Amino acid sequence: MTTILIIDDDIEFCETMESLVGRMDHRCVTAHTLKAGSDFLAGNDVDVVFLDVRLPDGNGLTALPLIKKAPSEPEVIILTGQGDPDGAELAIQGGVWDYLVKPTSIKQTRLSLSRALKYRQEKQAETPVALNLDNIIGVSPSMRKCFDLVAKAAVSNSQVLITGETGTGKELFARTIHENSARAGHNFVIVDCASLTETLLESTLFGHRKGAFTGADADRTGLVKVADGGTLFLDEVGDMPLSIQRSFLRVLQEKRFRPVGQTQEVTSNFRLIAATNRNLEEMVEKGQFRRDLLFRLWAVHLELPPLRSRKGDIKRLAMFFVDHLCEEYGVPNKGFDAEFFETLSAYDWPGNVRELFNVLEMAFITSGRTTTLYAMDLPSNIRIKVAKATLTRDSASTPEAAPGDTNPPVSRILSETEAQVSRHFGNRIPEIKEFKGIMEEQYLRELIRHTGGNAKKIMQISGLSKSHFYTLLKKKEISISSD
Ligand SMILES: Nc1ncnc2c1ncn2[C@@H]1O[C@H](COP(=O)(O)OP(=O)(O)OP(=O)(O)O)[C@@H](O)[C@H]1O
């Protein structure tokens, strides 16, 4: 459903907008401060933001760049009490869709909103959808942005620079770009610049003739040549010595090079994807990386987010990887106890997806033949860190705050339902009874979690009678203490 966010401190105006937007069949959310609006944008998909200029905690125009950079990259319409030509100019330069001065007519507001939404729809339809992303898991807005870039990179031939912390999937994304590109029928060649000495890196990249240096007892084809027609993936490019950066820049420009000890040049039509977890701009400033090479590398820049900033993906990644382990070990699929996921989401994952997969494999092995994975199966160092962090957080937060999870409860119910449905039914649409059953179960689990199992709050929020609530728990086999 299309979501419209109104950031305005005029409560009466917000109510008028809510009714206008509601009549257009869109969801409308209001925020009366910049902070409340930004918090909502950080965790939710928003299509259009109506933004006031003078707000109690700051100026809307100053906050515009941050609002435009929110994960869902919303369109922005400025709706201000004071018309100001300079402000309008500033806003348009900042990429706003429209600049309206209050009071505006209903017709004008509707028209502006409809146009912004139409533009957004067209913009989103531009993304190629035929990508094969079978091995990449992620539904968070930041990952969806990465998929859009993968799609653009796959249809182009330009250099790609992938940055991100260790274990965020740089190699996986590089391979995915290659496999979705016109070069897929040729080699995907990996060179790890960090693991080779300067001399070895040079001969690995460009090849050498027999006898070119001590130990060169046979001709060797360089990996740049092996990547002819395909993709060369330079991992840890920040570790490439300056002397090789110079020769490599020439190879990138001319697509020809001379193997060590050979007089004739060799050509190679390769596409370069480079990756690093280092800050190349900083390295350029310190004279450790060539600026001209950096400019060449980042024709397309894909920045992979750390796992701790997209905790909504942890559950799907875990289900994907444990299913894969079950298949590999030839055992029936395993289920998960709710606390298992809670512990995973409460941990910070400094080693990102690689660390998550290692931990899951340990838990999988510990669980032996049992058909469910419990938090107890996780390595004790993780459980201890989570327990300590939760204790510190609990003493400072409200009882309703779930550890490590910043999504609103309704989003959690919906995303849990979606995950369960896709797990059980794949692409098939379930019967309505089955679907309702799953949704009902997720609602109950979230309700218990949100209230910490407090019966009075449960009845207040849900409107259920005690007996009805306990009948439902029994039917769904949910125990209030373990959930
Ligand atoms: N979004 C994802 N979906 C599924 N698997 C993922 C995802 N991201 C990473 N992985 C898996 O995590 C592991 C680490 O990924 P990868 O080696 O690509 O990370 P990296 O960023 O290149 O790490 P490093 O910087 O240490 O070289 C791999 O097993 C990869 O398949």
Residue nearest to atom 28 of ligand 1 (CA): 354
Ligand 1 centroid to Cα of residue 17, in Å, is 44
Look at strands 256-257 and 266-267 and give their pairing: antiparallel
Residue nearest to atom 8 of ligand 1 (CA): 169
Q: Is 328 in contact with 357 (CB distance < 8 Å)?
A: no
Ligand 1 centroid to Cα of residue 94, in Å, is 35
Residue nearest to atom 7 of ligand 1 (CA): 169
Residue nearest to atom 25 of ligand 1 (CA): 166
Domains of the chain: 3-125 (3.40.50.2300), 141-305 (3.40.50.300), 309-476 (1.10.8.60)
Q: What is the pLDDT along the chain (483 residues), one digit of tens a residue?
A: 789 999 999 998 899 999 999 888 899 999 999 999 998 888 788 999 999 988 999 888 888 888 888 878 889 998 887 766 666 766 776 678 888 888 888 888 899 899 889 888 877 765 555 678 888 999 888 898 899 899 989 988 889 999 999 999 999 999 999 999 999 999 999 999 998 888 889 889 999 988 878 888 888 999 999 999 999 999 999 999 999 999 999 999 888 999 988 889 999 999 999 999 999 989 999 999 999 899 888 778 899 999 999 998 999 999 999 999 999 999 999 999 888 999 999 999 999 999 999 999 999 999 988 899 999 999 988 888 888 776 665 555 444 444 444 557 787 788 888 877 877 776 778 888 888 888 988 898 888 888 888 888 888 888 888 888 888 888 887 876 533
DSSP one-letter code for 431: P
Q: Which residues make beta-bridge pairs with 372?
A: 335
- Ligand 1 in contact with 354 (CB < 6 A)? yes
Ligand 1 centroid to Cα of residue 354, in Å, is 6
Residue 3 main-chain phi, psi, to 5 deg: -115, 130
**Residue 95: how many CB atoms within 10 A of its CB?**
13
Residue 107 main-chain phi, psi, to 5 deg: -60, -45
- Ligand 1 in contact with 10 (CB < 6 A)? no
Non-local (6+) Cβ contacts of 251 within 8 A are 206, 224, 257, 268
Q: Which two tokens stand for residue 77?
A: 């319409």
Q: Is 352 in contact with 166 (CB distance < 8 Å)?
A: yes
- Ligand 1 in contact with 175 (CB < 6 A)? no
CA 282 to chain centroid, in Å, comes to 24
pTM over 0.80: no
Which residue's structure tokens are 């080699």? Answer: 187
List the one residue out of 353, 302, 331, 340 whose CA is nearest residue 166: 353
**Torsion on CA atoms 71, 75, 80, 82, rounded to nearest 10:** 110
> Which SS3 state, helix, strand or coil, does residue 54 take?
strand
- Ligand 1 in contact with 357 (CB < 6 A)? yes
Q: Is 36 in contact with 18 (CB distance < 8 Å)?
A: no
